[in-house]
């Protein structure tokens, strides 16, 4: 989905079931166009991730949703409310947007207990004290901090602080929940566990959520939908499986997971989204069957993209198109062998089964799974 396509659909007056709507959002910092006319729609209760490297515009987009940055163009709507409209000169203050936020730094106040940290937003809103107790107890149970009731914030571990920050963000039952790299300060094992926990909690409370990260594993595990961003623009939008299995460009292939990427040319269209791509290596040119990505046709320059788990190594030449190369690296990782096979100047990344017992220095034939080999835009 391109920025222009999404904008065109909205401008033609199509009805939308989206709860969060961002239309033609633009944000400059000096002469730098940090967000470049993007449009986004998120259905109610869904979990959207903005994914990309530093400087791609994902956090700036989040800050515009929160009202912490003033856009230079565009509109932001949540439900029936317009949060921002540059054209209509609407800019709702952050505290009036009914948004919960969880940041990279959890901002847990050390002089307060767990309950005091969580109840603070309700107290600011002058919520009835009896309701405050019920709500705080409810979210403490939801985030699994029952054992820490009555503890000072200084007694909470990093993971517990992260849960407390989430509890504080949802205790007011906001209309929208925003996350800005909330797991980046945790160690790997805790981060992996918290990915699943955050998604579970979000699903239970049913709050529409926008999550910002540069971690593709987080995006794949947690999201209903992912938007991959680059230089302030949307590169691709889709579900985790679609983004991983059907990237539209070299950039997305390279950013999501690990991929073999080799330049080539489409030499034949076979219909039904299939064709052949010609690539070169080891002093030969070879035609490989592939799926044709969006915007490609016969004669176009393209990039072949195939995941290591869809590259198979054989000691004997298999049937069909294959390439012979030398195993230059082999690492045992338990359930698979992480291999590198040199073919001319190109190194194929291969995941082989341990029973293959491949050895460095030996010659092997590699074959690509045609149903998972994709030609994409350069």
Share of the chain above pLDDT 90, in %: 79
Say what the pLDDT of residue 16 is. Answer: 55
The rounded Cα 237 to chain-centroid distance in angstroms is: 10
Token look-up 């199509």 returns 14
Query: Which one is predicted more confidently, 154 or 240?
Result: 240
Give the pLDDT mean for 180-189: 89
Give residue 11's pLDDT band: very low, low, confident or very high (50, 70, 90): very low
Q: What are 244-281's pLDDT values in tens digits? A: 999 999 999 999 989 999 999 999 998 889 999 999 98
Q: What is the pLDDT of residue 132?
A: 94
| pLDDT-based confidence at residue 366 (cuts at 50, 70, 90) | very high
Q: Are 160 and 145 in contact (CB under 8 A)?
A: yes
Q: For residue range 20-48, what is the model confidence (pLDDT) as tens digits? A: 999 999 999 999 999 999 999 999 999 99
Q: How confident is the model at residue 353 (pLDDT cuts 50, 70, 90)?
A: confident
Tell me the average pLDDT across 92-105. Answer: 92
Q: Tell me the CATH class for 258-376.
A: mainly beta
Domain range annotation of the chain: 3-250, 258-376
Instruction: Answer whether CATH 3.40.190.170 is correct for domain 3-250.
Output: no
Rounded mean pLDDT, 202-230: 95
User: Which pLDDT score, from 0 to 100, does residue 2 have?
Assistant: 43
Same fold, 3-250 and 258-376: no
Quickly count: other Cβ atoms within 10 Å of residue 328's Cβ: 12
Q: Which residue has the higher pLDDT, 355 or 176?
A: 176
**What's the pLDDT tens digit per position in 107-152?**
888 889 999 999 999 998 999 988 999 999 999 999 999 999 999 9
Across the chain, what does the average pLDDT equal?
Answer: 91
Whether 9 shows a pLDDT value over 80: the answer reads no
Cα distance between residue 351 and residue 339, in whole Å: 6
| Mean pLDDT within 168-179 | 94
Is the pLDDT assigned to residue 324 strictly greater than 70? yes
SS (H, E, C) the chain: CCHHHHHHHHHCCCCCCEEEEEEEEEEEECCEEEEEEEEEEEECCCEEEEECCCCCCHHHHHHHHHCCCCCCEEEEEECCEEEEECCCCEECCHHHCCEEEECCCCCCCCCCEHHHHHHHHHHHCCCCHHHHHHHHHHHHHHCCCHHHCCCEHHHCCHHHHHHHHHHHHHCCCCCEEEEECCCCCCCHHHHHHHHHHHHHHHHHHCCCEEEEECCHHHHHHHCCEEEEEECCEEEEEECHHHHHHCCCEHHHHHHCCCCEEEEEEEEEEEECCEEEEEEEECCEEEEEEEEECCCCCCCCEEEEEECHHHEEEECCCCCCCCEEEEEEEEEECCCCEEEEEEECCEEEEEEECHHHCCCCCCEEEEEECHHHEEEEEC
């Amino acid at each position: 989905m391109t920025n222009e396509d999404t904008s065109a659909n909205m401008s033609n007056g199509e009805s939308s079931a989206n709860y969060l709507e961002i239309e033609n959002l633009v944000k400059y910092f000096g002469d730098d166009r940090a967000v470049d006319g993007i449009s986004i729609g998120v259905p109610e209760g869904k979990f959207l991730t903005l994914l990309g490297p530093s400087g791609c515009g994902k956090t700036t987009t989040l800050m515009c949703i929160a009202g912490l940055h003033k856009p230079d163009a565009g509109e932001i709507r949540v439900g029936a409310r317009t949060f921002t409209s540059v054209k209509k000169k609407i800019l709702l203050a952050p505290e009036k947007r009914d948004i919960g936020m969880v940041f990279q730094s959890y901002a847990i106040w050390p002089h307060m207990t767990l309950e005091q940290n969580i109840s603070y937003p309700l107290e600011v809103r002058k919520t009835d004290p009896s309701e405050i107790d019920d709500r705080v107890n409810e979210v403490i149970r939801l985030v699994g901090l029952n054992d820490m009731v009555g503890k000072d914030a200084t007694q909470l571990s990093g993971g517990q602080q992260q849960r407390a920050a989430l509890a504080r963000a949802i205790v007011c039952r906001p209309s929208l929940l925003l996350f800005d790299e909330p797991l980046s300060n945790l160690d790997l094992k805790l981060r992996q566990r918290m990915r699943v926990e955050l998604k579970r909690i979000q699903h239970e409370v049913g709050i529409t959520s926008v999550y910002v990260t540069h971690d593709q594993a987080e995006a794949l595990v947690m999201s209903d939908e992912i938007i991959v961003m680059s230089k302030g623009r949307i590169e691709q939008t889709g579900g985790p499986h679609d983004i991983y299995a059907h990237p539209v460009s070299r950039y997305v292939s390279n950013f999501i997971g690990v991929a073999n990427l080799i330049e080539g040319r489409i030499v034949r269209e076979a219909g039904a989204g299939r064709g052949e791509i010609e690539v070169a290596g080891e002093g030969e040119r070879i035609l490989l069957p592939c799926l044709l990505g969006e915007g490609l046709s016969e004669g176009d320059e393209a990039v072949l993209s195939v995941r290591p788990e869809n590259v198979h190594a054989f000691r004997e030449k298999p049937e069909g198109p294959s390439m012979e190369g030398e195993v230059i690296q082999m690492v045992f990782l338990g359930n698979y062998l992480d291999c590198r096979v040199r073919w001319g100047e190109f190194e194929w990344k291969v995941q082989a089964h341990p029973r293959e017992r491949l050895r460095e220095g030996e010659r092997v034939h590699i074959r690509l799974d045609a149903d998972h080999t994709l030609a994409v835009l350069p």
